[in-house]
Amino acid sequence: MTKTDNFVHFLVEAGALKFGDFVTKSGRNTPYFINTGEFRTGATLSRLAEFYAAAFMEHFDGKAENLYGPAYKGIPLCAATAMKLSDVYARNLTFTYNRKEVKDHGEGGSLVGYKYAEKTNIVIIEDVITAGTSVNETMQALSQMENANVVGLLISVDRRERLENGKSALQDVQDHYGLEARSIVSIDDIIKFLEVEENRKAINAPEGILEKVYAYREQWGVK
């Protein structure tokens, strides 16, 4: 298996990638659904962080000193990824996450972790993005921090679905903010995985799922 195949298989094994009949927030009927909230054991989070750390090293090594995890799902992701970068690659990055509600006592403020005391290049660690709303909120918050310089965004799966402007959410974020937006895998990688009969058997894929994913990609995907 390729490293992307390994990640897709891992997503299915962990229950984070499901095939069937689902409805997205935008109301689209989709044959697959991604929920990284299913990573709820130490073992699965550790494995997930290994994939994030490897993707960071591939795309952002030497480009950033800090990982930022938006509340709530981004918090364990950025912390675990920072640990893997230290343990596996000897890269000692700082990490930061935000509170949903600003704390008005104790240390105060909305940030926990590194507070950007000096000019810092940042990679945002997210699970998935659909319309880019959460990234917009994060960028607005970090724009208030004088020393915070966001250079990248790393997510687990890029669905590559069209927004109203014809771009995918990842493309839109990249173009709008001028940062490097990357994913560990995309829907195209998932399709390549499903095209191999042995892979479909290994994950007990529903009958006809490949054709359904093809059709969904054709209807809603970016070109």
Q: Which residues are catalytic?
A: 103, 105
79 phi/psi in degrees, rounded to 5: -65, -45
Per-residue burial over 41-52, b if 16 or more Cβ lie within 10 Å, else e, is eeebbebbbbbb
Adjacent-strand bridge partners of 185:
157
Q: Are 15 and 38 in contact (CB under 8 A)?
A: yes
Q: Give CA–CA dist 223/205, Å, rounded.
A: 26
Q: What beta strand segments (E) does 114-169 contain? A: 120-125, 148-158
What the block records as the tokens of 113 is 């972790």
Q: Are 78 and 97 in contact (CB under 8 A)?
A: yes
The two counts, helices (H) then strands (E), for the chain are 8, 8
Q: Give CA–CA dist 209/206, Å, rounded.
A: 6
Q: Are 150 and 124 in contact (CB under 8 A)?
A: yes
Which segments of the chain does DSSP mark as H helices, in order?
Answer: 3-13, 42-60, 74-89, 133-142, 169-177, 187-194, 197-202, 209-220
Q: Within its chain, how far is the Cα of 120 from the centroid?
A: 21
